Amino acid sequence: MAIIIAVFAIFIAPALASAAWWASVDRPSSWRQADWSASGMLPDASSTSEAAIYIMAARTGGMKGAFATHSWIVTKRAGERYHRYDKVGWGRPVRIDGYPADARWYSNLPEIVGSVHGAEAERLIPKVEAAIAAYPHQGANGDRGYRIYPGPNSNSFVAHVLRDVPELGLVLPPNAVGRDYLSGGRFFAVSDDGLDVHATLFGLAGFSAGWHSGFEVHLMGLVAGIDIKRIGIKVPAFGLVSVY
């Protein structure tokens, strides 16, 4: 009984609260009515010459948005334009520049999960591109390339890159459902810098621990835990609540 109460309090209650909040939010009824335009969150590429890497995320459409975000990668070499990388359920392989770099997703404003700039970004962009090219789930929906739940999906793709390029120092938000599905359906992984470990049963249940992840437990796509880098708690469906 104590375990059931703990699961309800830690995972289910926050998810229900998020669903109630999301149900009250005005949203487009379909993707056709949604706004997919640039949000203006990123600086105009022509206004800055420095290289940059951004990890972006935005709430997804429909009631899924109560629990999940869609994430993507943006790169910019010095003096060049932005390039955006998404893995979606339509088309193959990874979609490049299918949308503006900082576009809204189903009308939802994106957030910058994290970024790297300057010489360090220039150094890491080839590593990011190599990790993107090496992503094993490049196929289309129904072809082991995309499965909305529990993965591999858009968040599984971005999480794969972040694990392969730990110098970015980032992990996806707790509500990036699918991020805990390990590439190739593995059960265990260690980040390339050895500072994070991940164990999961196909993204359905497991844990992550380390400098980048803090300590997390995931259950049926919901994540709870603590963040030791940004000093905060990871709340299922809501995301990271940090002191800064």
Q: What residue spans of 59-151 are helical by DSSP H?
A: 118-133
Collapsing DSSP to helix, strand or coil, 58 comes out as strand
Between CA 60 and CA 43 the distance in angstroms is 23
End-to-end CA distance of the chain, in Å?
Answer: 36
Q: Is-contact 71 111, C-beta < 8 A? A: no
Q: Is-contact 104 46, C-beta < 8 A? A: no
What's the number of CA atoms in the CB half-sphere (13 Å) around residue 90? 1
Between CA 174 and CA 11 the distance in angstroms is 12
Between CA 198 and CA 163 the distance in angstroms is 10
The pair of three-digit structure tokens given for residue 145, joined into one six-digit string = 């390339």
Residues in contact with 136: Cβ distance below 8 Å, sequence separation at least 6, in sequence order: 183, 184
What residues of the chain score a pLDDT lower than 70? 91, 140-144, 243-244
Q: What is the dihedral sign for C-alpha 104, 105, 108, 109?
A: negative
Per DSSP (E only), the strands in the chain are: 52-59, 69-76, 83-86, 95-96, 111-117, 188-190, 196-200, 205-210, 214-219, 222-227, 232-235, 239-242
Between CA 81 and CA 236 the distance in angstroms is 36
Please, what is the Cα angle at 187 between 182 and 188, to 5 degrees?
85
